[in-house]
Amino acid sequence: MGFDFLRSITSVFGINMGRRQTQNITAIIFDKKGKVLSVGKNSYVKTHPMQAKHAHKVGLPEKIFLHAEMDAIIKCRNLSRAHKIVVTRVTRSGKYGNAKPCPVCKSAIKEAGIKNVEWTI
């Protein structure tokens, strides 16, 4: 499975991207066999208590809007099977951007027990 798969899954989920969103960030959680357990998207309007909890924990309380990694973790029903999280950022022009998880998401990923983290650059 290469990054072309990720680009297509990202563009599929990007169809509902709001007009104001210029960056499309998607986080995908995989199990050990490479099966997709959940897909998360960033939002500029949605919040979540888990986002707020980790934002406060790492001293960035202004980061209230839902990040893709957080969304994927919240949606994952089998976190115990979560093996890897891959974060992609695709710009409107279709190029990859830096999707390195921020401190808030790093905190959530650590708490979720996901050891492998990959992102587009």
114 lies in the site for Zn ion, by CB under 5 A: no
Report DSSP state, residue 83: -
**Is 117 within 8 Å of 84 (Cβ atoms)?**
yes
Closer residue to Zn ion (CB): 85 or 104: 104
79 lies in the site for Zn ion, by CB under 5 A: no
User: Which range of residues in 7-15, 44-52, 65-73, 75-83 is near Zn ion by CB under 5 A?
Assistant: 65-73
Q: How many CB atoms are closer than 10 A to CB 100?
A: 13
Which residues of this protein are in contact with Zn ion, per CB under 5 A? 67, 102, 104-105
